[in-house]
A = this chain, B = another copy of it.
Amino acid sequence: MSQNDGVTRPLTRRPGRPLGGQLDVSRDVVLDAAERVIARDGANASIDAIAAEAGVTKPIVYDRVGSRADVATALAERLSERMAVAARSALGGRGFTRSSLASFIEANLRTVVDHRDLFLYVTGGSTDQTSLGRLVLAEQSVTPLAKALQNWRQRAGLDPSVADSWAYGMVGMLQMASLWVIGSPSANPRVVADQLAELLWYGLVGERRPDEQSNNYDP
């Protein structure tokens, strides 16, 4: 819409099918373009801008990917895949230890920092009726995590029914921490990751201690 300034100017091209056969613009090409636009212009990227970056027009985007929510979901898949890769590489086949938990968290935080605006686009609302879309997209991280937790708890002889709650809780914790780290340059991902690992570790491994220990906490 921004290049349609002069009505008097003759159109560079009349509408119709392009000359050289099919426009070879696949779904992935559109999504690549979306990522470029978001990285360049920020998280409030319009479908028009994405289409322009891909060298096509809006209906192509709708045909190849879908609505804006679909674009966000597709990009969420990409981002969570990247986070999984980073996390796996950070763990490097080590067993599940406190320090590997910290590495896992740190890898997630750093991936978000590296894809700051993509993260904001993906977690950023679209208040439609699908404000629950954020959940749908979080589930891309939640589902494998819940599965891993469940397997591990089961093998360790611990109650596996906590897997879902914990997975949602941990993903939410990571998302909020990421948002915080993104927003405040003073926050150091390594330190934050270590502190969150400290918070989670003892609960994860099923440490027990006598209940009802009063510390005189006043919220």
Contact = CB atoms under 8 A, between A and B. Distances in A.
A95 to B, nearest CB: 3
Given A131-B124, A172-B175, A199-B169, A213 B97 contact: yes
B125 A217 contact: no
B148 A165 contact: no
Q: How large is the interface on A (under 10, 10 to 19, 20 to 34, 35 or more residues)?
A: 35 or more
Contact of A172 (B132, B145, B174, B216): B174
A218 interface: yes
A145 B199 CA distance: 15
Contacts of A43: 127, 129, 131
A217 B152 contact: yes
Interface string A152-169: 100110000110111011
B211 A98 contact: yes
Contacts of A98: 211-213
Interface stretch (A9-17, A22-30, A73-81, A202-210): A202-210
A56 interface: no
A128 to B, nearest CB: 6
Interface pairs A-B: 3 shortest CB-CB: A125-B125, A172-B176, A96-B217
Interface of A: 42-44, 87-88, 91, 95-100, 104, 120-121, 123-129, 131-132, 134-135, 138, 144-145, 148, 152, 155-156, 161-162, 164-166, 168-177, 179-180, 182-183, 187, 191-192, 195-196, 198-205, 207-209, 211-219
